[in-house]
Amino acid sequence: MSHTAYYIQQFINALSLGSIYALVTIGLAMVFSILRLINFAHGDLMMIGSYSILMLWNAGVPVWIAIFVGVALCGMAGIIMERVCYRPLRGSAEMTTLLTSFAVVVFLENGATLLFGPNTRPFRILNFTPPTFNISSILISKIDVIAVVLTLIILLVTTLFIKKTTIGIAMRAVADDLTASHLVGIRLDRVIVSAFFIGSVFAGLAGLLWSARAGKLYPLMGFIPVVKAFVAAVIGGFGSIPGAVLGGYVLGFLEVFLVAMLPPDFQGYRDAFVFILLIFVLLVRPQGILGAKAMQRRI
């Protein structure tokens, strides 16, 4: 493979990985913009969605129906999580809700381990047809294409939803000032449940793509993506959906090209370089790349 083809291949890989990171980060940012809640259990919603899809598919349900139902179940799990775990703590200190999110992570991951076992399971959904296209020695997998196209569609639909629909405008109002929104008659519970449902659906789709890309899933699979999504959100501007997308792609490109360009002895330190970038961003621009806009309107 020539140098040009090699870097085009890495560009495609980075675009695919960045799309998945962006998809996870959008859901994380949507909830944070409204509740100022960093929901670390968001990654476990990815796990719930992936296992739901796999169980339905193994039961003989057609693949696209299994995906639709599994993602919907993931959205319902997000609603239950908000109602049971976070709504009773609304108005509490941010540290209280943060610790609660860690408690939810422990509960869900241990519950999944007891239910499904600790071992990895193969995940071949979306790979039931030849998974790659070979163009001049450049391999483009079907997952890469789906990840990029799906993320762009979701970004467009989410932007239109937030700007044009009643519930979307209410989300923007609550993100700007929760107390004032309540005083003018906006139904906070409806807005918050909607944000959790939409964010959880995005988590389910991201879990599907993450598992399909890796070819496997396991109960702790959501930990790494949600940590990376947190880093991406900080880089792009926490609480900003455009910032979430930008941060996801920045992180994806950084990870892939670090592996491509670093000497082999240093490639294992890829995540260390990523967190060095995070520290640099926090020191130089703590509000993130798009933080100035996020300060005025977080969605």
Classify residue 162 as left (phi > 0), alpha (psi -120 to 50) or beta: alpha
Tokens coding 85: 């775990």
Do the Cβ atoms of 153 and 232 come closer than 8 Å? no
End-to-end CA distance of the chain: 43
The domain locations on the chain are 3-127+138-223
pLDDT at 297: 44
pLDDT at 133: 64
How many beta carbons lie within 10 A of that of residue 94, not counting itself?
Answer: 11
Say how far apart CA 6 and CA 30 lie, in whole Å.
36
Integer CA distances (angstroms), 98 to 85, 101, 105, 121, 150, in order = 11, 5, 11, 30, 30
Integer CA distances (angstroms), 134 to 179, 200, 210, 213, in order = 55, 34, 22, 17
Closest by CA position to 57, among listed 69, 48, 46? 69
Do the Cβ atoms of 166 and 185 come closer than 8 Å? no
Cα dihedral 67, 21, 123, 258 in deg (nearest 10): 160
Output the tens digit of pLDDT for each of the chain's 299 residues: 567 777 888 888 889 899 999 999 998 888 888 888 888 899 999 999 999 999 999 998 998 899 999 999 999 999 999 999 998 988 788 888 889 999 999 999 999 999 998 889 998 887 655 556 666 677 778 888 888 898 889 888 988 888 888 888 888 888 887 778 877 888 888 888 999 999 999 999 999 999 988 888 999 998 888 988 888 888 888 777 888 888 899 898 888 888 777 777 766 777 787 788 788 888 888 777 776 544 444 45
The structure's pTM equals: 0.88
Do the Cβ atoms of 32 and 238 come closer than 8 Å? yes
Instruction: Burial-class residue 236 by CB neighbours within 10 Å (0-12, 13-18, 19+).
Output: buried
Do the Cβ atoms of 233 and 13 come closer than 8 Å? no
Closest by CA position to 47, among listed 202, 230, 219? 219
What is the residue type of 140? I
